[in-house]
Amino acid sequence: MGVTNLPVSPLAPKSFPELPEVGGVELTTFALGLYSGTSRDDLLVVHFPNGAAPGGVFTTSSTRSADVDWCRSALKSSEVRARALVVNAGNSNAFTGQAGIEKNRATTAAVVGLAGCLDTNVFLAATGVIGEPLPPTRVADGVRAAWPALGMPNWEKAANAIRTTDTFAKASGATTEIEGRAVNIVGIAKGSGMIAPNMATTLNYVFTDAPLSAKAAQALIARYCDLTYNCITVDSDTSTSDTLMLFATGASGGETIYDPDDPRLEGLRTKLHAVLKDLALQIVRDGEGARRLIEINVIGAADDHAARVIGASIANSPLVKTAMAAGDANWGRIVMAVGKSGEVVERDSLAIWFGDHQVAKDGARAPDYSEAKASQAVSGELVRVRVDAGVGDGQATVWTCDLTEGYVKINGAYRS
C-alpha cells in the first residue's frame, strides 16, 4: 500500500498535544510490514490489566469489515468487559470472506493465550485497502512479538501506528473530577479520506480511568458521537471499518457509576464531548488535500435533523467544496445545495452568510452584498457559512473541508 509519506496538512496542529496519564492502560506498537517499502509501525496493541468497561459505535455500511462484526458481537456478550484492543493499519480486513474471520480467530486466540481472558474480552479493528486477504496468523504473530514491550502509553506512537493517508497523528486529552478524584481522558484517532456521517469514517479510541459501567460507557459514546463524528464529512463516502470506542478502566477509584446522566458525571460529560469534537475536527483538518476547514451552521430548519441534512447537503457538494478551494464566493452553489437536500425550505425567506457578511436575504441577493467582503470571508483557513432555512427552530452544525487537486492525486495513488 502506498501514499504514506504525504506533506503535512496546512491545517494541522502545530504540535502533538501534551496528554494526561490514564490509569489501567498499557500499550505498545509494532511493525507488521503491511506498508511496502517502509518500516513504520502499523500495529497497535492495548492491554487493560484489570479490565475496562467498553462502549462503541460502528459503521452502518452493509459491507462492513469482519472486525466490526466481531466488536459488535463482543459488546453484546453477557459479561461485556475489555481486556485488550488490537488495531492494524494497511489492510482493512473488509470484504475478505472466510479469510477475514480466520484472521480474527487467530488474533483473538493469541491475545487469550497472553492475557488469560475470554475471546469476547478482545476488541479488533483494521484500516487500509479493502478486499485483500491476509495470512490468518499475520496479525496474531505480530501481537505475540509485541506483547513483551507493553508498558506506559506512548500516545504519539499509538496514534501514528493507526494512520493510513493521515498526514499527522491525532490525539486529544482532558482532565476532570468525580467526587474529588482526578479523572483523565485521552483519545487517539485516524482519518483523512472516506469520511462521511453514518458514524464518520475513521478509527477512534478514547480511554478514561473514570469508574463507568459498560452501559454508561455505551450511552455516553453514542450520545457524543452523534454530536461530533456524525457531523463531519470530507468526501461523502462511508467506510467499511468505522469504529469509535470508549474504554473506562475505573483506575481513578470510586464506585462504579451506571447512569450516564448521573450528576457526578457532569464534568466528564463536558470534557468527553470536547475531546471527541477536537478529534473529529482534526480529521476534517486532515481531509485529503484540504486547505480550508469549513463550518456550516444551519438555523431555521423544520427540526434539528432537517438542519443536519441541509448542512450535510452543502458540505458534501463537490461544487461548493471546489468553489471554497478557489476562494470563490459563489453563494449560488449554497442555494443549490440547500434546495437539493430534500428538506422543507422557505425559498423566499432563505438567508445566507459567509462569515459575518450576508450574501442572500429573503430569497435573493442581499441589498448590501459586497463581492470583496464575501470573497475575503471564504479565503482563509477557516470558512464559516450560515444558512437560515426560514421554516422553524431546527439547527445544526456540520464541518467539512475544501476539495482540491490533492484529493485526486492521493486517491489515484492509494494502492500504488
CATH code, domain carrying 354: 3.10.20.340
Please name the amino acid found at residue 212: L
Q: Residue 300: which domain range?
A: 293-412
Spans of the chain below 50 pLDDT? 1-3, 195, 200, 414-416
One domain for residues 238 and 381: no
pLDDT for 171 equals: 98
Residue 370 in grid coordinates: 459586497
Burial class (CB in 10 A: 0-12, 13-18, 19+), 93: buried
One domain for residues 189 and 262: yes
One domain for residues 270 and 143: yes
107 is a catalytic site residue = no
> Among the three residues 235, 262, 285, which one is the final residue of a domain in this structure?
285
Q: Evaluate whether 385 touches 352 at the Cβ level (below 8 Å).
A: yes
Residue count of the chain: 416
One domain for residues 45 and 140: yes
Residue 390 in grid coordinates: 426560514
> How would you classify the pairing of strands 203-208 and 243-248?
parallel
pLDDT for 2 equals: 45
Residue 72 in grid coordinates: 459488535
pLDDT for 260 equals: 98
Residues facing 400 on adjacent strands = 294
CA distance 123 to 242: 14
Which stretches does DSSP call E strand in 166-227? 170-178, 181-190, 203-208
One domain for residues 265 and 302: no
CB atoms inside a 10 Å sphere around CB 177? 14
Q: Over the range 219-239, which residues count as b (16 or more CB within 10 Å of their CB) and which as e?
A: bbbbbbbeebbbbbbbbbebb
Q: Evaluate whether 125 touches 84 at the Cβ level (below 8 Å).
A: no
> Among the three residues 285, 317, 340, which one is the final residue of a domain in this structure?
285
Backbone angles phi, psi at 402, to 5 degrees: -75, 170
pLDDT in tens, 329-355: 999 999 999 999 999 999 999 999 999
Does residue 299 belong to any structural domain of this protein?
A: yes
Number of domains in the chain: 2
One domain for residues 305 and 281: no
pTM of the model: 0.90
Does residue 14 belong to any structural domain of this protein?
A: no
Q: Evaluate whether 190 touches 229 at the Cβ level (below 8 Å).
A: no
Does residue 18 belong to any structural domain of this protein?
A: no
One domain for residues 140 and 260: yes
One domain for residues 265 and 303: no
What CATH number has the domain bearing residue 246?
3.60.70.12
pLDDT in tens, 247-295: 999 999 999 999 999 999 999 999 999 999 999 999 988 877 788 999 9
> Among the three residues 285, 316, 346, which one is the final residue of a domain in this structure?
285
Does residue 176 belong to any structural domain of this protein?
A: yes
pLDDT for 57 equals: 92
Torsion, Cα 186 192 197 202, to 10 degrees, reads -50
Q: Which of these is catalytic: 4, 29, 107, 201?
A: 201
Residue 250 in grid coordinates: 475505573
Please name the amino acid found at residue 95: F
Q: Evaluate whether 27 touches 307 at the Cβ level (below 8 Å).
A: no
